[in-house]
Structure 1
Amino acid sequence: MIGQWAKDLTDERDNFRCDLAAVGFNGDTETLRGPLRWQPCGGQEKTATVEVTLTAAFPFSPPQIRILDAGVPLQMTFHRDADGSLCLWPTSVPFDNAPWRDPGQLLRKVAAWLRQTDAGWPGDEDCDLERYLPSDPRLVLYDRDRLAKLKGCVRTQASDDGHRVAITDEPQQPPKHPGRPDRRRTHGRSTGNIKIGRKHRALAWIADVGHLDRPVQDASSLCEVLGADAQHVTWLMSIGVLQFVVLRYRRHTANGVLALAVSPALSERPPIEVRACEAADTSVATRMLRAGWAASDLADRHVAVVGAGAVGSFVADLLFRHGIRHLTLLDPQLLRPGNLVRHLAGEGLVGFPKVVAVKARLSALGFDTSGVEGTFDRLTTPQQAVKLLREHHLVVDATADARATALLTWASSQIPTPVVSVCIQRQGAVARVDRFPLRGAERHHEPLAPGSKTDATPEYGCDEPVSSTPPGAVVAAAALACRVAIDELTYNCKMPATLIEAYEPPPRSSHPPR
């Protein structure tokens, strides 16, 4: 029995094909071919022959469109996939009322694509040149500031697994051309009388090719954009010295980088195989693009996180990701295997102080952690609390320790530095954040009534009971505390003195309503 959803999809596909047939398209059940009238720049109307294929993804994705004959000599350039099919809409176009579901809108879009191609795509700034080449699985990393100063041959550094290749700023003089290139290849050791030593392996050629009016699609088009360097670079690729070519280019006002993996082909035609690698900028500016609007304002703030356990570890992580580079971590405990299910750190850091483990995880993000300090100690005295508040713009209390919380809230009444206290209650059903000191007529929310008691199971070999709070509640509570902390650090001061989030409904009363 066919479900209604399958029937609806079949009906939509059938109706789409019928509408295309009405304007002269015909073919098998999935692919139809037909005429399309379009207007070239400065010329008379022409008729193109277009192929429309309804893929399995239709109608949630556009049909596959190919131009079989443009009706005039036309060089196909941008906004195509590697298989030659057209890219008509960005992936951000929503499915509801998607324009490609209407054959009339689809054909008008194809006609507009032909006009834009004929005009040379004026004003187009798409920097997605990887799509026009076969793909290479490696990721090429570069620093955009350093890359802008490089040209010619440089060294590369590959990760141990070979999946990542970093472009260095270390120049390397390539071997000199002996005259006429020798076409004999010995696959790595030598070519003719040119010996390929270790220093001449896995090099990259860096070039600025300026504005591109057509994509690089093979070795021939790569040579065209390399200009005067093409012959020398081709020879270096043919003897296996160059494994990468990195092109800086422009598309009108947009800047792009195209990383190509190159190697001698097994056959003479084409002599060089060219594949596109995904390229990624490692600069701090690019790393921080996703850090949020307040990242630049937070960079000089000093924050202390007291308690680097479950909640505290994620609070430190979130604050660091938001741009805070001066963090003080305070905790007296070592990381135990049982902590891992709710802690930021992993197995390799078991046995280290929790403050060390958290800093190690922050270091793995690739940012400078010289401003992160860890103190393997417990907060026990008023002097410690006052010192923390005096030396920081904000202190986060993530201890779940009533005595430490009392010290910090007392200190906030003596020193005008905000304290954000976060805790999880009712075995993870509720997260609560309180901010000290109060402002004006503010009041904290009353203490919550405890939930139903559950038996706390101690860790094997340890007398201290273990909270049954689940990992999701830990992360949610840390995010709540982070919101309040950033509100204070950016001086927005819009958050109330107490925030409470419930993740589970409160237990029903056993007493019937009166």
Structure 2
Amino acid sequence: MTRAWERELTAEREVFRRVLARADFTGEDDTLRGPLRWYRCGGEAVTATIEVTMTAAYPFAPPQVRVLDAGIPLTPTFHRERDGALCLWPADTPVENAPWCDPARLLRRVAAWLRQTEAGWPGDSACDLERYLPAAGGIVLYDLVSLATVHGCVRTRATPDSRCVTITGKAQAPPVRPNRRHRGTPTIGRRHRHLAWVADIGEVTRPIEDWASLRPLLGGDAGQIGWLIGAGVVEYLVLRYRRGSSSGLLALTARPSATRRASIEIQACEAADTSVPTRLLRAGTATAELADRRVAVVGAGAVGSFVADLLFRQGVRKMTLFDGQLLRPGNLVRHLAGEPWVGHPKVVAVTGRLADLGFDTTGVDPRHDRLTTPEQAVTLLRKHDLVVDATGDARASALLAWAGSTVQRSVITVCVERHGGIIRVDRFPLRGSEQHHPPVPGGRGDQITEHGCDDPVSLTPPASVIAAAQLACRAAIDDLTRECALPATLLEVIEPQEAPDDVRGLNLADSRPGKHV
């Protein structure tokens, strides 16, 4: 029995097929062939023959289109797959009202592709040369900043399973190529193995599909590079290149051909830049501003560990972590750190996890200590632009709120209530006529204890912990960037409670009469 959604998709495909049939396309099943009239750069009309295939992914992906006969001698270059299918739309083209579902628009797009191919894709700046080569497994890592001016042989470093290879940028002189008088093969030592050759091949006007198409781009170094690959010295090629207004980097594996004598096989590697600018691309727009802010996170437990992680990811590099407890196995289900950090101070475990992100953590100060005295609190506030209180301890929270008001430095307190059903974030001191939201009524409720630990354990689930950290981070960024757009209290209902907290969602209402955010 055919299901309703299958009937809908079948009907949509049938409409597409009928429209193409009216344009003289013929064929069986999901593949149709037919004529396409397009205009050359000089204005001459030409008729091509193309093949259109609705794949299983249609209509959520474009149909595959191949040019069987362009109508003129035409060599495909860019914007195509290795199997000959045309790349007609960017991968991020919205599926809603997908342009490829309109056969007329599809044919116009193919005609434009043919015209652009004949013209050599003027102004095109897509840096995707790896798509035209067979793919190698694993990933190659490089620091674009350190390789910007490097040319020649450099060392590499691989993981034990060779799935990840790092181009170190450290120069290594290659062995000397023997001249014609010396026919013997030179001895290749360990320091001359697994090297990479880094070069700038300039503007690329045609795809690189094999060694024959790459060799001319290597210029006068081509002969030496070929010999080094054949001798087993160079295993990777790292090539900087340009296309239009953009620059790219192509990482290749290179080895002697197993089937063709005196030939070289190249494959494209997935490559990734490890430099700090690239690592920060996804960190948000406030990264540069946050780099100079000093933040203390008091409490490196469940919520505090994720608060520190989020702030660090968004650009805060000067951070003090304050907590007096060790990480226990029972903490792990709600904590940023994992099993290898059990038994370490929580502040050390969090610092270790921050270091795993690949950024400099020398500005992170892990203090394995408890905050108990007014002097400690005042000193901490004076040395930081903001203190985040994630202790979940009423005494510590009261102490920090008092210190914030005393020295006029910002304190943000975050806590989860009702076993994670409500998240609350308060900022101290108040600004102007601000007021905090009234306390949420109700006690701590049922709690349990862990064997070997006198402290009560809340039943807050991990999702509420992470949501609390996110809300605290939002308030912290608002204060650190001086946007001051958020009220003194943020209250988020995760699980509906009694009125007035019986509706899920974030309450951004300011307590001042008539004031809303």
Is the shorter-chain TM-score for this pair beyond 0.5, marking a shared fold? yes
- Once residues 142 and 245 of structure 1 are traced to their aligned partners in structure 2, the CA distance between those partners, rounded to angstroms, is 12
- Between the aligned partners of 2:404 and 2:453, the Cα distance in structure 1 is 34
Match of 2:50 in 1: 50
Provide the secondary structure at the position in 2 that maps to 1:228.
Answer: helix
2:87 aligns with: 87
The one-letter code of the counterpart of 1:113 is: W
Matched, 1:255 2:247: yes
1-structure distance, mates of 2:51, 2:210: 25
Supply the distance in 1 between the matched residues of 2:456 and 2:304 (Cα, whole angstroms): 19
Please name the residue that 1:221 is paired with.
213
Deviates more, 1:18-27 or 1:364-373: 18-27
1:418–1:437 Cα contact (<8 Å) kept: yes
1:456 aligns with 2:447: yes
In structure 2, the partner of 1:163 is: 163
- 1:60 CA drift (Å): 0.8
CA distance in 1 between counterparts of 2:472 and 2:296 reads: 13
After alignment, is 395-404 or 260-269 more displaced? 260-269
Q: Which residue in 2 is equivalent to 1:7?
A: 7
The 5-angstrom pairing of residues 460-499 of structure 1 reads: 460-499=451-490
The range that moved more, 192-201 or 298-307, is: 192-201
Q: Distance in 1 between matches of 2:181 and 2:426?
A: 74
* Offset at residue 43 of structure 1 (A): 4.9
One-letter amino acid of the structure 1 residue matched with residue 219 of structure 2: G
Name 1:187's counterpart in structure 2: none
Q: Is the deviation greater in 482-491 or in 167-176?
A: 167-176
Quick check: 1:19 aligned with 2:19?
yes
Residue 512 (structure 1) aligns with = none
CA contact (8 A) 1:419 1:437 kept: yes
Match in the other structure for 1:347:
339
CA offsets, 1:248-267, max 9 Å, x none? 00011101000011111111
In structure 1, distance between residues paired with 2:495 and 2:58? 40
Q: 1:229 to 1:432 in 2, by over 3 A?
A: same
CA deviations 1:62-94 (Å, max 9, x no partner) are: 011111111111121110112111000011111
Residue 338 to residue 148, structure 1, CA distance change in 2 (3 Å): same
Residue identity opposite 1:506 in structure 2:
Q
Q: Give the TM-score, by structure 1 length.
A: 0.95
Instruction: Provide the aligned C-alpha RMSD in A.
Output: 1.7
Give the unaligned 5+ runs of structure 2: 501-517
Match among 388, 392, 412 for residue 420 of structure 1: 412
The 2-side partners of 1:332 and 1:111 are apart by 69
Residue in 2 aligned with 1:153? Answer: 153
2-structure distance, mates of 1:444, 1:194: 79
- Whether the aligned pair in 2 keeps the contact of 1:206 and 1:245 (CA below 8 Å) is yes
Structure 1 match to 2:365: 373
What's the secondary structure of 1:27's corresponding residue? Answer: coil
CA contact (8 A) 2:418 2:445 kept: no
Query: How far 1:176 moved relative to its partner?
Result: 2.2
Give me the whole-angstrom Cα distance separating, in 1, the residues matched to 2:209 and 2:262.
12
Distance 1:51 1:412 in 2: 71
Matching of residues 131-150 of structure 1 within 5 Å: 131-150=131-150
Helix, strand or coil at the partner of 2:419: helix
For 1:429 and 1:352, how far apart are their aligned partners in 2?
30
Corresponding residue pairs, total = 500
Aligned match of 1:446: 438
Q: Deviations over 1:423-464 (max 9, x none)?
A: 00000001100000001100001000127x753221123332
Q: Give the 5 Å matches for 1:305-324.
A: 305-324=297-316
Q: CA deviation at 1:181?
A: 12
- 2:257 paired residue number: 265
User: 2:406 matched to 1:408?
Assistant: no
Equivalences for residues 496-511 of structure 1 within 5 A: 496-507=487-498
Q: Give the alignment's TM-score, normalised by structure 2.
A: 0.94
Q: For structure 1, which runs of at least 5 residues remain unmatched after alignment?
A: 183-190, 510-514
Cα 1:192–1:45 change in 2 (3 A) is: farther
Partner of 2:321: 329
Name the SS for the 1:422 alignment partner. strand
Q: Is the 8 A contact 2:296 2:384 kept in 1?
A: yes
Amino acid at match of 2:233: V
- 2:114 and 2:227 mapped to 1: Cα distance? 38
Written as runs of structure 1 = structure 2, the 5 A alignment for 1:282-297 is 282-297=274-289
Give yes or no for the alignment of 1:98 onto 2:98. Answer: yes
Contact kept? 1:138, 1:164, Cα under 8 Å = yes
- The separation in 1 between residues aligned to 2:298 and 2:287, in whole angstroms, is 22
Residue 121 of structure 1 corresponds to which residue in structure 2? 121
Using the alignment, how far apart are the partners of 1:232 and 1:56 within structure 2? 48
Which has the larger displacement, 381-390 or 10-19?
10-19
Paired residue secondary structure (1:501): strand
Residues of 2 paired with 1:421 and 1:456: CA distance?
Answer: 22
CA displacement at 1:338 relative to structure 2: 0.1
- SS where residue 52 of structure 1 aligns? strand
Could you tell me how far apart the structure 1 residues matched to 2:362 and 2:390 are?
A: 23
Whether 1:338 aligns to 2:330 is yes
CA offset digits 1:390-430 (Å, max 9, x no partner): 10000000001111111111111210110000000000001
C-alpha separation between the residues in 1 aligned to 2:243 and 2:291? Answer: 33
Candidates 196, 199, 209, aligned match of 1:204: 196
What is the alpha-carbon distance in structure 2 between the residues aligned to residue 137 and residue 382 of structure 1?
Answer: 58
Separation in 2, partners of 1:417, 1:248:
49
Shift of 1:287: 0.7
Look up the equivalent residue of 2:326 and give its one-letter code. L
Decide whether the 8 Å contact of 1:181 with 1:235 is kept in 2.
Answer: no
Partner of 1:186: none
1:279 aligned counterpart, secondary structure: strand
Distance 2:409 2:180 in 1: 74
- Partners of 1:269 and 1:244 lie apart in 2 by 20
1:393 maps to what in 2?
A: 385
Q: CA deviation at 1:179?
A: 3.4
- Alpha-carbon distance in structure 2 between the residues aligned to 1:226 and 1:260: 14
Percent identity of paired positions between Structure 1 and Structure 2: 61
- CA separation in 2, counterparts of 1:229 and 1:49? 42
**CA distance in 2 between partners of 1:143 and 1:337 (Å):** 37
Partner SS, residue 319 of structure 1: helix
Instruction: Letter of the 2:145 partner, please give it.
Output: D
2:374 to 367, 375, 382: 382
The letter of the residue matching 1:480 is: L
